[in-house]
Amino acid sequence: MARAPGGLFAVFYFLAVLETISFLGCAASIVRLEFVRPSKAILQWISTFALFVFVVLAYGARLTAKFDVAAYNLMYFIGALLCLREVSGAIGPRNAVPAPVE
């Protein structure tokens, strides 16, 4: 990675931009009060984007042989995945269709 065009500075700034986008999306979701509305478009998109960011961070940690950091990043990934599941509301007993009674 250090020999890539731009070196480690490019990777550092790429990760900083990804994390800034995640923060700005969360801030926009809070400003729009999406956590209390039925429509949670920004929150769903930014939660999905956060999954991508955690995978990138975990991959980078594994490349640098920091396996404990990679494990923490994967735990954060799982937490973000569970949050996305709750936010989307597409799966779960709340939206389950009852079986027809015969």
Write the pLDDT tens digit of every residue in 7-38: 677 788 888 999 999 999 989 999 999 878 77
Question: What is the amino acid identity at position 2?
Answer: A
Q: Is residue 12 part of a domain?
A: no
Model's pTM, two decimal places? Answer: 0.71
69, part of any domain: yes
Domain that holds residue 64: 40-88
For the chain, the average pLDDT equals: 82
Residue 1, in any domain of the structure? no
Residue 40: which residues within 8 A CB-CB, separation 6 or more? 29, 34, 87, 88
Count of other CB atoms within 10 angstroms of residue 8: 11
Residues ≥6 apart with Cβ < 8 Å to 41: 34
Does the residue 100 lie in any domain? Answer: no
Residue 72 in domain: yes
Please check whether residue 64 lies inside any domain of the structure. yes
Number of domains in the chain: 1
Element (H, E) at 26: helix 7-31
